[in-house]
Structure 1
Amino acid sequence: MDGGEAGHLVAYLAFLRGQVVEAVGSLTPQQQRTAVLPSGWSPLELLSHLLHMERRWIRWRFLGEPVDEPWGDWGRTGSADPSEHAGARWRVPEDVDVAGLTTRLVEQARTTEEVLTGTPLDTLARTGGRFADGATVPTTLRWIAFHVLHEYSRHAGHLDAAVELLRDRGRA
């Protein structure tokens, strides 16, 4: 693996993205929308969350770009973090499927790779986007990249458990 620290981040993110897409894609459409863990999310909702999370951190938070529906995984609009509200949970509209989410995730992955390979990792996030109010202190690309990697790693493990439970249900 070449490319130094940024190259390693790109490679690990690509691996984890691939694992998540493969796992969700291996399920039936009904299983993709079935929650089996106490937290109540379905595999399709998790895939949507990872797409929106990566967009929020790379485009909205690091690049400072305006992002339509930054909290789209929560089924809400606006810039306020819905995870801070009691009872908030991820949502995926009925007309959204794995193929559509995967296409969007691949597009976002290209942007993430371009940013990681073309920007020094100690570069501070731009103001605007998430940091438009000036109240939140921007952080470095390195911190953001490791946070995104952490989110993928953590949720890929959750997804492994959910997929195993869903497959076992089908055998009963």
Structure 2
Amino acid sequence: MFSGAHLKRRLGQYGAAWAIGFLVSGAGILIGCLFMDMMAAADLVLPFVLGGSGLALGFGGVMTLLSNQTLGTKLAVVLLALALVLPLLWAPVSAAVVIAFFADRSIEYSEVYAAFQIGISRALFPISEWVLGGAVFQSVWQAFQIVASVVGFFSALANIWPIIRRVLGPEPGREAA
């Protein structure tokens, strides 16, 4: 079974963690700009907020796994956590990007930002190659085409069946009423 209420609560907590990561990172960088260069402030603040965001997501997942929720609910929460980890980690980084934009600075000079981009690229490239390259993508695409063809055939048949019945006339043994 599946508990939609628990999933909804976890998604609400995820949204709060995203907003808190964005706001804390932004506030930390802005306060740091009062005492040092913006890139130095971003390099100082981002690791802590990124780590805190990751810990918050992990804590929510562990709490769900230790709860008395059903296996389906636990699986759904863990899969959502895996799917949403990148957007959650992007929240503090996006605050730094917004501040750099308004300060007319290039965020690429931040060492933490560059390391974040490189790390994400190293993680996503093999996944994208596995999904979009080779046999897996071709098999999924072929299955999609087969299913789409079958659904399209039955949809067309359902649409033209009344016309075919009219052309063929009434069934033998039935009188026209």
State the TM-score bracket (shorter-chain normalisation): under 0.3
Query: Which of the two has higher C-alpha Rg?
Result: 2
Q: TM-score, normalised by structure 2?
A: 0.25
Q: TM-score, normalised by structure 1?
A: 0.25
